[in-house]
Every structure is written in C-alpha cells, then in structure tokens.
C-alpha cells in the first residue's frame, strides 16, 4: 500500500503539519481554532510514530501503541478544553482570545 512512498515524504508531511499547528496556535484569535491547531500538532506526532514504526522497526509495535494512546488522550484533552471554552463563553459572551484578558502582566 505504502510501498512506493518513501519515509522522507511522511516526515516532511508531519513536519509541515507540526509547524502549521504551531503557527495556527500563535496567530489565531479564536479558542476553538487554537484547539484545532493543537490537534494538528498531535496528529503530526501520530504520523511520525506510525511512519517510523512501519519503515524502520516493523518487528515491534511500540509506535502504533503510542499512537493509539495519543489519540485517546487527545480526545480527553479536547473534551476538557471544550467544556472550559463553553464556560468561557458563558462568562465572557465570546471565545475570542482578545476578550479573555482580565489578567495581564
């Protein structure tokens, strides 16, 4: 299936995804979009793990297990984060980062 695609392509994809996530986290002003950027980062890590496992160490499955655990934890993280963001919306009537600025310096 992935026979014709070399490992480097997966690594380039995951690196681009990782830095897109970082860029999105730093530039977006909407809390939900920032959360989505974090998911991009976590998924780039997943691609890394699976690609390394498949190409370099096909005899063990540690990379796959790590990916499964990351997916589960990311879901838990998103659940808590979205609950808190809903609470932010109730308090501030907005989920723009610029509005959530009661505390500074």
- Secondary structure string (H, E, C) spanning 36-85: HHHHHHHHHHHHHHHHHHHHCCCCCCHHHHHHHHHHHHHHHHHHHHHHHH
| 84 touches another protein (CB under 8 A) | yes
In the stretch 35-64, what mask flags binding to another protein with x, by CB under 8 A? x--x--xx-xx--xx--xx--xx--x-xx-
- Which residue lies nearer to another protein by CB, 2 or 91? 91
**1 vs 28: CA distance, rounded Å:** 36
| 2 touches another protein (CB under 8 A) | no
CB 51 within 8 A of CB 10: yes
| 23 touches another protein (CB under 8 A) | no
Tokens 């609470």, located at residue: 87
Residues near another protein (CB under 8 A): 18, 21, 25, 31, 34-35, 38, 41-42, 44-45, 48-49, 52-53, 56-57, 60, 62-63, 65-66, 69-70, 73, 76-77, 80-81, 83-85, 87-88, 90-92, 100, 102-105
């Amino acid at each position: 299936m992935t026979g014709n695609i070399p490992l480097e392509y997966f690594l380039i994809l995951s690196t681009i995804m990782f830095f897109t996530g970082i860029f999105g986290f730093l530039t977006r002003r909407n809390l939900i979009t920032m959360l989505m950027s974090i998911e991009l980062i976590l998924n780039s890590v997943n691609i890394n793990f699976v690609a390394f496992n498949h190409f370099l160490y096909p005899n063990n499955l540690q990379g796959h297990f790590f990916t499964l655990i990351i997916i589960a934890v990311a879901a838990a993280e998103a659940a808590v984060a979205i609950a808190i963001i809903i609470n932010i919306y109730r308090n501030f009537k907005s989920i723009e980062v610029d509005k959530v600025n009661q505390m500074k310096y």
